[in-house]
């Protein structure tokens, strides 16, 4: 993003607790709420049923985006041809190999918290919709996207109680507009350890490792075990040495401040570790420990108390509550006898999950998610699409869980059927793909009309492979940033920040609040696109096709 701006999209997050907020946070959130458009009844969006969106093509393009965001030495099968090797000495100054991973957005910094969340969400999409992704011919690319992230996270976890949190400095990076292949900015690395804790970062990284271990369990058992080992160590580190990572890593505070704290990440990691160990044959020494942690700490860590209306890289409570709810709804399949006592606590998690989902449907009393006149879920001006894609994913996952268990979603405004949740998720996705007042796809590269001036350093300048002449720090601003022409490289699959509360979008490179894309915007859509693609195929064929499991071959 531009000089002097704040990266990653959004900083403070209004949520609606059933318990009181700390005074300082509460005051900040009140100011934010007062500055937002007033909530209104959900209008009817432009009819999307008449638009035949190709969700399979959207899935393919979304996975390409992660290749555009790669840092390090690119592999032989790199498909985004305008990118080249970059940041090959990351960690050298600190004596550790930190080459690889992902740049978070349009800059050249590797921020650990949003990167780990990105990996968690892509992995969750594969866990839930692996068959659908495979059916679309994209499973290998999805696995590559996950592994590119986890390979880096394994490196970053250099010791049981050491995790490298960031490579690069946002201040110097944002004063330069350079291709990652040219960058001359600081590549200083920052870490957390026992004396400088970061439970939120360590917890999210543990969740990413655990979720990925589930994905690779049958396809690559050794790698799966390695990831699980790291996840367990990181969770112990996060829980034992508690603290916010942005207090230990001041360089991250301006860009990815952990406003919600670390309690949600501790529960998030524990639930993913429960899922990872439950299928690993570890018995009471594995999964039971983590479920017990969630049950014993659910109230103290806010899982049973916070009623939220958003889900993002910072605030994970809605995801925590959906995961806990799925345990209840799936208990007939794999519910251990000793866990029966946990049912009452998990039901409290479920009630808060229902609050979030009902808010997305507009069926709560007073605390619904705002909508634009065109029907888009709207949380705040800066990078609003991250909340839309996250909501679409959670609605889709919960709709499937309700359908399998034969339940409906109880809301103050009336019960919602699984199809109601899926319809809302689909309408959000359709808005993204072009069923909106602008008639514009906010997924770059999809359809005939999409943002052409994405706020992204590499995409906005001629490819390094075409012109290897060095582009200096300020030269990039002088020669490329202010150009009125379209970007020379299309950042295919990137989900930009999206329109404002009035559905208006300004496709200008300097308009980073709307035109910058982030990895965690696209990540939740992988599973949703695959699900909708499968449903479209079933609809065309007049019934569900024969299913086979490519993730868990017999």
- Indicate which residues carry an active-site annotation: 455
Q: Which two tokens stand for residue 28?
A: 């900040």
Distance CA 497, CA 492 (A): 15
**Other beta carbons within 10 Å of 468:** 12
Distance CA 235, CA 251 (A): 23
Q: Closest Cα partner for 151 from 181, 119, 183, 177?
A: 119
Q: Closest Cα partner for 181 from 443, 470, 450?
A: 470
* Block residue for tokens 């609050």: 355
| 441: CB partners within 8 A, 6+ apart | 432, 433, 434, 447, 449, 450
| CB-neighbour burial class of residue 137 (10 A; exposed 0-12, middle 13-18, buried 19+) | exposed
Q: Closest Cα partner for 233 from 160, 157, 151?
A: 160
Distance CA 299, CA 349 (A): 9
C-alpha atoms less than 13 angstroms from C-alpha of 105 in its C-beta half-sphere: 32
Distance CA 154, CA 210 (A): 12
- Which secondary-structure segment (H or E) carries 244? none
Determine contact, residues 166/196, Cβ cutoff 8 Å. Answer: no
Q: Which two tokens stand for residue 167?
A: 């490579």
Q: 70 — phi, psi (to 5°)? A: -65, 140
Q: Which two tokens stand for residue 265?
A: 């990440």
Determine contact, residues 312/390, Cβ cutoff 8 Å. Answer: yes
β-strand pairing of 306-307 with 16-17: antiparallel
| Rounded alpha-carbon distances, angstroms, from residue 401 to 89, 334, 398 | 45, 14, 5
Question: What b-and-e string marks burial along 342-357, b requiring 16 or more CB atoms within 10 Å of the CB?
Answer: beebbeebbebbbbbb
DSSP helix/strand/coil, 461: coil
Q: How many contiguous H segments (helices) and E segments (strands) does the chain have?
A: 20, 7
Distance CA 399, CA 421 (A): 6
For every residue of 389-443, DSSP letters joined together read HHHHHHHHHHHHHHHHHT--B--TT--B-HHHHHHHHHHHHHHHHT-STT---SB
| 218: CB partners within 8 A, 6+ apart | 551, 552, 553
């Amino acid at each position: 993003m531009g000089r002097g701006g704040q990266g990653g999209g959004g900083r403070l997050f209004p949520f609606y607790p059933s318990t009181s907020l700390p005074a300082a946070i509460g005051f900040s959130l009140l100011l934010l709420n007062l500055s937002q458009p007033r909530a209104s009844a959900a209008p009817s969006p432009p009819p999307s049923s008449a638009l035949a969106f190709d969700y399979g093509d959207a899935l393919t393009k979304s996975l390409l985006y992660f290749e555009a965001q790669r840092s390090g030495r690119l592999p032989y099968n790199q498909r985004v041809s305008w990118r080249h090797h970059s940041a090959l000495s990351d960690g050298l100054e600190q004596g550790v190999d930190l080459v690889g991973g992902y740049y978070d957005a349009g800059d050249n910094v590797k921020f650990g918290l949003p990167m780990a969340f990105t990996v968690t969400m892509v992995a969750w999409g594969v866990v839930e919709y692996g068959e659908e992704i495979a059916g679309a011919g994209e499973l290998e690319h999805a696995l590559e996207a996950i592994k590119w992230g986890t390979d880096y996270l394994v490196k970053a976890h250099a010791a049981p109680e050491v995790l490298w949190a960031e490579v690069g400095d946002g201040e110097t990076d944002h004063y330069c507009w350079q291709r990652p292949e040219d960058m001359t900015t600081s590549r200083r690395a920052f870490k957390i350890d026992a004396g400088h804790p970061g439970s939120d970062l360590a917890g999210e990284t543990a969740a990413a490792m655990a979720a990925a271990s589930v994905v690779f369990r049958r396809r690559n058992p050794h790698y799966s075990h390695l990831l699980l080992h790291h996840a367990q160590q990181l969770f112990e580190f996060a829980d034992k040495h508690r603290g916010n990572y942005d207090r230990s890593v001041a360089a991250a505070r301006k860009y990815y401040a952990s406003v919600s704290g670390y309690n949600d990440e501790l529960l998030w990691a524990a639930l993913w570790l429960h899922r990872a160990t439950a299928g690993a044959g570890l018995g009471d020494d594995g999964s039971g420990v983590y479920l017990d942690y969630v049950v014993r700490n659910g109230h103290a860590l806010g899982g049973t108390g916070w009623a939220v209306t958003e889900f993002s890289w910072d605030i994970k409570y809605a995801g925590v509550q959906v995961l806990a709810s799925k345990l209840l709804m799936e208990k007939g399949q794999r519910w251990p006898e000793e866990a029966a006592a946990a049912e009452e606590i998990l039901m409290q998690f479920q009630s808060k999950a229902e609050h979030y989902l009902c808010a997305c449907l507009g069926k709560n009393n007073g605390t619904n998610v705002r909508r634009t006149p065109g029907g888009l879920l709207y949380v705040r001006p800066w990078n609003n699409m991250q909340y839309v894609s996250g909501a679409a994913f959670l609605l889709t996952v919960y709709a499937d869980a309700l359908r399998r268990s034969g339940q409906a979603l109880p809301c103050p405004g009336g019960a919602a059927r699984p199809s109601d949740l899926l319809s809302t998720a689909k309408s959000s996705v359709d808005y993204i793909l072009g069923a909106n007042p602008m008639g514009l796809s906010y997924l770059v590269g999809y359809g005939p009309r999409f943002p052409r001036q994405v706020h992204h350093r590499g995409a906005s300048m001629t490819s390094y492979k075409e012109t290897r002449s060095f582009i200096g720090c300020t030269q990039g601003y002088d020669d490329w940033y202010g150009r009125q022409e379209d970007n020379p490289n299309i950042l295919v699959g990137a989900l930009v920040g999206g329109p404002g509360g009035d559905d208006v979008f300004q496709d200008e490179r300097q308009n980073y609040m709307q035109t910058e894309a982030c990895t965690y915007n696209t990540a939740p859509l992988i599973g949703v696109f695959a699900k909708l693609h499968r449903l479209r195929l079933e609809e065309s064929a007049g019934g569900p096709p024969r299913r086979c499991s490519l993730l868990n071959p017999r």
